[in-house]
Each structure stands twice: as structure tokens, then as C-alpha cells.
Amino acid sequence: MDKRKLGNTDLLVSPITFGGNVFGWTLDEKNSFEILDGFTDAGFNLIDTADVYSRWKPGNAGGESEKIIGNWIKARNNRNKIVLTTKVGSDMGDGKKGLSKKYILEAVDASLQRLQTDYLDLYQSHFDDLETPVQETLEAYDQLIRAGKIRWIGASNFSPERLKESLETSQRLSLPKYQTYQPEYNLYQREGFEKEMEKICADNQLGVISYYALASGFLTGKYRSEADLEKSARGGGVKDFMNDRGFKILKALDEVSELYNSTPASVALAWLIARPTVTAPIASVTSLTQLQDLTKAAALKLDNEAISILDDASAW
């Protein structure tokens, strides 16, 4: 499988990232191991998680995903074969959140312990912290890079203004620079990224790792009526897409899928992979059957006509 350079780093990554939010939520440890084995056996290597995954599940405290991945890494002894990224900044409860230097230095050690590794390939600011100056956050990352605990840094869910301020501060003060950006981006949700953030990422050569690549499963085509919303724990997040524009996009996905003897999920991911600014969209699966869609997407090369069909149907 072809690998892509992630931003201006020396990291070579597969064209799809596995989203670890399902570990400890809709997948227990045994099934998580099965999916992670299948993902890496298929030639993929980029695994994304966050300290807060999956705190939202009743009974969870956060860190469940990192613990499962850490147990898997230890069991498979494969740390050097994967590119591992986690995130900091989300609310972990008890006032543990944000991007202050003090908190980042504490949070990274907790993540490293759960992941059972002594370094992260990529450490990302999960959400911006408007109460903390960007310089303070970057100085924390500088300290961690010097200590060998992290290699590169990335950002997620920033405003255009704060991302630009961070990049300018890095250059002005010779501090570590964000090398990646993680936006919500897919065939349905295009405007938020394309309107302003895409140009910033392109101008600064940021690797883009887009989340909700399948719009919470809507772009797989399995949700086509209200009754379908009961099909999974994530169905509730799909209702907003069930409108004229959403169904127009599904129709285009069906058309292109038929042309390529593929599936809507594979085509939706292949559309993202074909975007010049996107490095490796994030997708999650909960079965080996679904994993086949990721493998097919990575090998699927859409021609200009197919991309135009999808572009037109999803225009904003």
C-alpha cells in the first residue's frame, strides 16, 4: 500500500487513519484487538485516539481507548510498525482539560502510560483553549519534544484565526509548528473546511486528517429512512443528514459505486483521499466486513468524471 508523507514530518502513513473512538465504546477489548490486527494486516499504519475516548459511555472515565491500544501494542510488540497519535485538551472531568503548559505536561504522561509507550508520533490539541495563549501551549510541546516524549504536533477544531496565530507564533519564536490539522470533513460537511481552513492547510503544508469521514455512518448508505436510525448506537447522529441534499449525495454515491463495483463507504472515502489537501481521512469500523470498505477505498482511484458527480451532488 502506498504511503503518504504527513505534513512536513518524516512520517509515512497509510491513506486511511483508524479512528479509535470506538474502542471501549462499541467495541470491547477482544473485538478491538481483532479489528486492529485486521487494519494493520491490510497494510494500514496510522491509529488516532484521544485521552477522552470514550468518556461519554456510562461507566467510563476516559482513557479506555488508549488503554486498549496500549494493551494491543504490548501484546503484539509492534510499536515501531505503527504511527500513533492521541489528543489532549478535552474535558476529562475534575477540571482536567485545556491547553495550559501545566496540564499538557501532566496529560501526556497519563496518555503514555495508558498507551504503554515512551513516545507519541503525533500529539494533537483536541480543542482550542481560548484562555491559554498559543505561545504557552507551543512552549509545552517544545519541552515534550526535547524530552523525547512526542515527535510532532497537530491541531484540531481550531478557528482559522487561532490556527494562523499558532503558526505565526511558531515561526516568530522558533517553536514547534503544527504539522497536521484535523477538521470535520466529508462529502456532506464540506463548507466548514473548504471555506477557509483548506487554504490555510495548503499554504502551510499541513497534513489533513479529517474526522467523521463517513458522516457518522450516513455515507455508508445504511441510513435511508427513520427506521434505519435504530441500526446502531451512532444512528442518532445521522438524522440531520436525512434531507434532500443528503439523499442527493447518497444517489451520487450509489451511481459511482455501481460504476466501480464498489460500495458507498469506499467511494466516500476515496473521494476524500483524492482531495489534494487530505492526507488520511479517519474512519472507524466495528467488524472485519466493514474493514473491507477501508481496504477497497485505499485502492480505489476515482476518475475526474466520478469526482465531478460527487462534487456536484454535494456542492454547498
User: Hey, which residues are catalytic here?
Assistant: 53
Looking at this protein, which amino acid is placed at residue 208?
V
Beta 46-48 vs 120-125: how paired, if at all? unpaired
**Distance of alpha carbon 80 from alpha carbon 183, whole angstroms:** 27
Termini Cα distance of the chain: 33
